[in-house]
């Protein structure tokens, strides 16, 4: 088989043909031309067009390499007279309109960019990272337009910090399918509202049953405004984080009041107190028991933390509620200011915390994706624009469809 025929078949050309393949030192150039008078399609609506308006100057597309030799397609695009759209550039079966690489190459690059950094992907395909960024942005735009929009029942809303906590983004996950649904440029009410009004829309808001989130007032308000059937659930992992912060604050408060001799004893106990007791080594248990003997505020904090955690195990809502009320009572009597603060937070979010017993959902289901976002943030620290960061988050977490290779 001639190389020309081989490439024509690979590209599945019907109205075009390969007239010549040239090999230069660093690439193979595939010259393409129109095949006879076969009908061309409109680049906008893809309808067949009878008339060719004119022939444009030659354009070039990068394709997948052949045995490490980059393939370049060259062709002079026609402008067709589409009965519906007017004079338009024809549709190229090998590439999306305006793309400078073929769909096959773009998809291969896009798939690798889900695993590697932009720079790493670029190196693998001999492109520069900006071309990879363009490919990813295009893939995301296509994917968002063409993804299936199934009914959603349980979502998790979370915030992601960018540039070391100076900028926040909001991410929304489908907790049942474990897939990213939406990314917003901030965590304010206005920034997140489009998720409910535009992305979900009224109809899909009605099917929402559970919304899992941190205790962040704008999110809760939006759910009450737009998803009246949904139960607000405060995320288990965020609550535990606040609880651990209370233990930490107690420890730091104590530290300030200690004299230096006593400080030696307390030093390094932070992790002992945050660790689960069954994970402690004998030596650590020994240190913990010394601490327990002479240090009552820390001990009270530690017991409070441990007893709070029993809440997650209850199966019956009324028992869980009873436990929580008792715990709140003892925390209020503990004379530990950080715990009193934590308790006030529990009280003002009571229903959303109790909802755990019935729903058993948490954003822990999508923790893997949160970690993935952190690693994207880490490796794209140099990027100025949030746009690219957002595109990468969609690209890696939303399981978007890629354009079909025709």
CB of 77 to Zn ion, least distance (A): 15
42 binds Zn ion (CB under 5 A): yes
CB of 45 to Zn ion, least distance (A): 3
Site stretch for Zn ion (CB under 5 A), options 63-71, 75-83, 132-140, 166-174? 75-83
Q: What are phi and psi of 74, to 5 degrees?
A: -125, 135
45 binds Zn ion (CB under 5 A): yes
Is 85 or 240 the residue whose CB approaches Zn ion more closely?
A: 85
Look-up of token digits 């932070």: 270
- The candidate with the shortest Cα–Cα distance to 154, out of 369, 374, 356, 373, is 356
Q: What are phi and psi of 56, to 5 degrees?
A: -90, 175
Cβ neighbors of 54 (< 8 A, separation 6 or more) are: 78, 79
366 binds Zn ion (CB under 5 A): no
> In whole angstroms, what is the distance from residue 35 CA to residue 305 CA?
76
Is 89 or 171 the residue whose CB approaches Zn ion more closely?
A: 89
Site stretch for Zn ion (CB under 5 A), options 76-84, 139-147, 214-222, 292-300? 76-84
82 binds Zn ion (CB under 5 A): yes
Is 82 or 152 the residue whose CB approaches Zn ion more closely?
A: 82
CB of 403 to Zn ion, least distance (A): 18
Under DSSP, is residue 345 helix (H, G, I), strand (E, B) or coil? helix
110 binds Zn ion (CB under 5 A): no
Neighbours of 61 (CB within 10 A): 21
Looking only at residues 313 through 332 of this chain, which bind Zn ion when binding is defined by CB under 5 A? none
Site stretch for Zn ion (CB under 5 A), options 41-49, 59-67, 211-219, 326-334? 41-49
> In whole angstroms, what is the distance from residue 367 CA to residue 351 CA?
24
Instruction: Find the angle CA(90)-CA(98)-CA(93) to the nearest 5 degrees.
Output: 45
Site stretch for Zn ion (CB under 5 A), options 2-10, 36-44, 62-70, 151-159? 36-44
Under DSSP, is residue 397 helix (H, G, I), strand (E, B) or coil? helix
Is 30 or 82 the residue whose CB approaches Zn ion more closely?
A: 82
Is 45 or 116 the residue whose CB approaches Zn ion more closely?
A: 45
Provide the pairing of β-strand 231-234 with 154-162: unpaired
Site stretch for Zn ion (CB under 5 A), options 25-33, 42-50, 281-289, 358-366? 42-50
Decide if 34 contacts 79 (C-beta within 8 A): no
85 binds Zn ion (CB under 5 A): yes
DSSP state of 349: T
Interacting residue with Zn ion among 44, 52, 179, 345 (CB under 5 A): 44
Site stretch for Zn ion (CB under 5 A), options 39-47, 65-73, 171-179, 319-327? 39-47
CB of 14 to Zn ion, least distance (A): 18
User: Which residues make beta-bridge pairs with 88?
Assistant: 80
Q: What are phi and psi of 287, to 5 degrees?
A: -65, -40
50 binds Zn ion (CB under 5 A): no
CB of 96 to Zn ion, least distance (A): 16
DSSP state of 261: H
> In whole angstroms, what is the distance from residue 249 CA to residue 270 CA?
10
End-to-end CA distance of the chain: 22
**How many chain residues bind Zn ion (CB under 5 A)?**
7
CB of 404 to Zn ion, least distance (A): 19
Decide if 224 contacts 212 (C-beta within 8 A): no
CB of 46 to Zn ion, least distance (A): 7
Decide if 217 contacts 195 (C-beta within 8 A): no
15 binds Zn ion (CB under 5 A): no
CB of 402 to Zn ion, least distance (A): 24
User: Which residues make beta-bridge pairs with 54?
Assistant: 79
Site stretch for Zn ion (CB under 5 A), options 47-55, 115-123, 248-256, 268-276? 47-55
Looking only at residues 285 through 304 of this chain, which bind Zn ion when binding is defined by CB under 5 A? none
Q: Which residue's Cβ has the minimum distance to Zn ion?
A: 42
> In whole angstroms, what is the distance from residue 368 CA to residue 189 CA?
26
Residues making contact with Zn ion (CB under 5 A)? 42, 44-45, 47, 82, 84-85
């Amino acid at each position: 088989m001639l190389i020309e025929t081989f490439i024509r078949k690979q590209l599945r050309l019907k109205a075009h043909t390969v007239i010549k393949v040239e090999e230069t030192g660093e690439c193979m150039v595939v010259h393409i031309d129109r095949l006879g008078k076969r009908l061309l399609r409109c680049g906008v609506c893809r309808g067949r067009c009878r008339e060719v308006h004119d022939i444009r100057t030659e354009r070039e597309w990068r394709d997948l390499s052949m045995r490490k030799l980059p393939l370049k397609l060259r062709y002079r695009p026609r402008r067709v007279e589409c009965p519906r759209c007017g004079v338009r550039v024809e549709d190229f079966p090998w590439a999306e309109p305006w793309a400078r690489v073929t769909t096959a190459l773009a998809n291969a690059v896009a798939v690798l960019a889900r695993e590697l950094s932009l720079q790493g992907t670029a190196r693998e395909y001999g492109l520069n990272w900006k071309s990879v960024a363009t490919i990813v942005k295009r893939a995301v735009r296509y994917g968002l337009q063409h993804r299936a929009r199934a009914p959603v029942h349980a979502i998790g809303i979370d915030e992601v910090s960018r540039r070391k906590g100076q900028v926040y983004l909001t991410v929304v996950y489908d907790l049942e399918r474990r897939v990213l649904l939406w990314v917003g440029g901030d965590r304010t009410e206005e920034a997140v509202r489009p998720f409910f009004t535009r992305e979900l829309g009224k109809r899909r808001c009605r099917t929402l049953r559970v919304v899992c989130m941190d205790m962040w007032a704008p999110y809760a308000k939006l759910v009450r405004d737009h998803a009246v059937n949904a139960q607000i659930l405060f995320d288990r992992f965020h609550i535990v984080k606040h609880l651990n912060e209370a233990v930490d604050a107690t420890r730091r408060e104590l530290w300030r009041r200690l004299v230096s001799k006593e400080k030696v004893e307390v030093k390094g106990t932070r992790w002992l107190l945050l660790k689960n007791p069954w994970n402690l080594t004998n030596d650590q248990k020994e240190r913990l028991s010394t601490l327990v003997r002479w240090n009552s505020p820390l001990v009270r904090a530690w017991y409070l933390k441990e007893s709070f955690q029993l809440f997650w195990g209850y199966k019956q809502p009324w028992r869980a509620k009873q436990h929580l009320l008792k715990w709140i009572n003892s925390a209020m009597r503990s004379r530990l200011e950080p715990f009193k603060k934590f308790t006030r937070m529990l009280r003002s979010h009571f229903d959303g915390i109790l909802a755990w017993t019935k729903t058993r959902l948490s954003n822990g289901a999508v923790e893997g994706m949160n970690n993935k976002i952190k690693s994207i943030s880490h490796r794209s620290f140099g990027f100025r624009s949030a746009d690219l960061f957002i595109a990468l988050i969609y690209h890696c977490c939303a399981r978007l469809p890629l354009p079909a290779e025709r």
